[in-house]
Amino acid sequence: MLQASAPGKCILFGEHAVVYGQPAVAVAIEQRITVEISPSEDWRIDGMRFDPNRHPHVEALKQRLWDGGPPLSVKILGNIPPASGLGSSAALSVAAAAALRCARGRQIENDDWTEGWTASRINEVYTGIGKHRKGTSLLAGKGSVDEDECAILAHAVEAFAQGGRASPIDSSTCAHGGCIILSNKIETRYNWLYSRELNGVKWDVHSVDLPAQLDDYYLVIGNTGIKAPTAKQVEKVAKLLQENPGRMVEIEAIGKIARRGIEALMLGDMEKVGHAMSENHLLLKNLGVSCPELEQLISAAVPNSLGVKLTGAGGGGCMVALTKDPKSTSEAIELAGGRTLITRLSSSGLELDKEGNGPIWSPF
Ligand code: PMV
C-alpha cells in the first residue's frame, strides 16, 4: 500500500484575476487530503466501483500515469471540504499523482528522466533534467516522486476539469506548500520555481519564506456549506469580461491590490495585509462572485479580524478572515451559520507517507 498527502490552499489575494495573468498569493493550509492506493481485482474508489464521471481528476491522472496498468483500489481521506474554494481537487490530484508515480517508478538514464511528461493542453514538456543520479536505473518509491511533476499533472487535470481555464495557483500551492506567489513576470525578490503557460496566458510561479512574526496570526476559514463549482464561477467572470471588455480594469485593480498585499505580507505588516484583503473582496463582490451567504459570514467576522474576504472561486464555498484571536473570530462566524476551520498561514506541501515495497507496476 502507498500513501501520499497534500495540503489544501487558501488564496489571500488575486483569485479570478490570476486566470488573466494578474499576480496572486496563496498559502497551504493545515487541512490535507490523503490518497492511498493498493493492488486490487478491479478499479475501486473508497470501496465502490470506480466511476470516471464522479472522479474526473483520478480518471485524468489514470490516463496519464497508469495507462495499461493493473487495477487499483484508491482511498481518499481528509478534512478539506470539497468544492468550497480550498483546493480539495488540486490536493487530491497532487497526492494521487505522487502515489501513482511512486507505484510505477521512474526510469533514469545518464542523469536524466527517460520519460518526460507532456502536459496535454499545456505547452510544456517537463523532463526534470539533472535531478537524479547517473547511469540507467529504475527509481522506485520516494526517490521517483517529483513535486514539480505532480504540480504540472495537477494543473493539467484542473484545466481539463475547468474547461481549459485554470491558473496553476492551486496545483503549485498544494504541491509545494508554504506560500506561493504567481506573477506575470519573474520576480527576482522571490524564489522563482518555474513558468507555466496555458491558452496564451503565462505565469511565473515563486515560493517565499514568510517572516517569523506571522506565527502569531491565524486564518479562520468560514464555509457557507454551498458547493460552488469553480468552472461555473470562472465562466461567469469570462462572460462578464466578454460582454464588457472595459471591466478588465477591475481585474487589473485586483492585481495592484495583490502586489500591495504581497509587499505587506513580506514585511510582516499584518494590518496592511488585512486592509488589502478587504479591498480585494470589494472588487470580487463587484465582479459578481460573492453571494448573500458569504456576505453574512464576512460581516460577522469583520469586528474580530484584520481583514476578510471570500477565498477561491466564490458563489458559495468559503470566506477567510485574518486574525490574532481565532477563537472569537471563529465563534462569530459560526453564530452567523458558517462552519469554521482554523489554520496558520502556511503548512508543508506534498508528503509521501508510505512508499510501499517497490513498484506495483512498471511500464518500462
Ligand atoms: O475555488 P478554487 O479552490 O478552485 O480556486 C479557484 C481560483 C480561481 O482563481 C477562481 C480559478 C483559478 O484557476 O485560478
In terms of C-beta density within 10 A (0-12 exposed, 13-18 middle, 19 or more buried), how is residue 74 classed? buried
Q: What confidence category does residue 110 fall into, taking pLDDT thresholds of 50, 70 and 90?
A: low
Torsion from C-alpha of 184, 186, 189, 194, nearest 10 degrees = 110
Atom of ligand 1 nearest to the CA of 162: 13
Tell whether the model's pLDDT for residue 258 goes beyond 90.
yes
- Cβ–ligand 1 distance for 230 under 6 Å, the answer yes
318 has a pLDDT exceeding 90: yes
Contact 307, 322 (CB under 8 A): yes
**Coil/strand/helix, residue 309:** strand
Percent of the chain with pLDDT over 90: 69
Identity of the residue numbered 13: F
Least confident segment among 101-110, 193-202, 217-226: 101-110
Ordered by start, the domain boundaries in the chain are 2-209, 212-343
Residue 311 near ligand 1, beta carbon < 6 Å: no
- Grouping H, G, I as helix, E, B as strand and the rest as coil, residue 359 is coil
How many whole angstroms separate alpha carbon 301 and alpha carbon 336?
9
pLDDT digits (tens, 9 = 90+) for 283-295: 999 999 999 999 9
Q: What pLDDT is stored for residue 135 in this prediction?
A: 55
More confident residue, 124 or 148: 148
> What are the distances in angstroms from CA 105 to CA 41, 53, 62, 268?
21, 27, 15, 42
Indicate the top mutation candidate among 15, 202, 203 to test ligand 1's pocket, ranked by most ligand atoms within 8 A of CB.
15
Ligand 1, residue 84: give the atom nearest the CA: 1
Domain spanning 2-209, CATH architecture: 2-Layer Sandwich (3.30)
Strands (E), 263-357: 307-311, 318-323, 339-344, 351-354
To test the pocket of ligand 1, the residue of 12, 86, 234 to mutate (highest count of ligand atoms within 8 Å of its CB) is 234
Q: Which residue has the higher pLDDT, 116 or 35?
A: 35
Judge if the beta carbon of residue 254 lies within 6 A of ligand 1: no
Helix axes 88-104, 147-161, angle to 10 degrees: 130
Ligand 1 midpoint to CA 16 (Å): 7
Centroid of ligand 1 to alpha carbon of 13 (angstroms)? 11
- C-beta of 15 in contact with ligand 1 (< 6 A): yes
Q: Model-level pTM?
A: 0.91
Mean pLDDT, rounded, for 307-324? 97
- Give, in order, the Cα–Cα distances in Å from 120 to each of 33, 94, 160, 252, 311: 25, 17, 9, 29, 28
Residue 47 pLDDT more than 50?
yes
Whole-number average pLDDT of the chain: 89
Predicted local confidence at residue 361, as pLDDT: 84
Q: If pLDDT is split at 50, 70 and 90, which confidence band does 124 have? A: very low
- Residue 328: predicted pLDDT: 98
Which 8-state DSSP code applies to residue 348? Answer: B
d(CA 168, CA 153): 10
363 Cα: distance to centroid of ligand 1 (angstroms) = 34
Q: With bands split at pLDDT 50, 70 and 90, how would you rate the model's confidence at 115?
A: low
Burial 278-297 (b: 16+ CB within 10 A, else e): bbbbebbbebebbbebbebb
Q: Residue 160's pLDDT band (boundaries 50, 70, 90)?
A: confident
* Rounded distance from Cα 233 to ligand 1 centre (Å): 9
What is the 230 CA–ligand 1 centroid distance (Å)? 6
Residues 228-254 have a mean pLDDT of 94
Ligand 1 contact, 87 CB (< 6 A): yes
Q: How far apart are CA 319 and CA 106, in angstroms?
A: 40
Question: Do residues 17 and 25 lie in contact, with contact meaning Cβ atoms separated by under 8 Å?
Answer: no
For residue 133, pLDDT beyond 60: no
- List all residues 6 or more positions away from 171 whose beta carbon is below 8 Å from its beta carbon: 90, 93, 94, 151, 152, 154, 155, 158
d(C-alpha 263, C-alpha 227), whole Å: 33
Instruction: Name the residue with the closest Cα to ligand 1, atom 14.
Output: 167
Q: In the CATH scheme, what is the code of domain 212-343?
A: 3.30.70.890
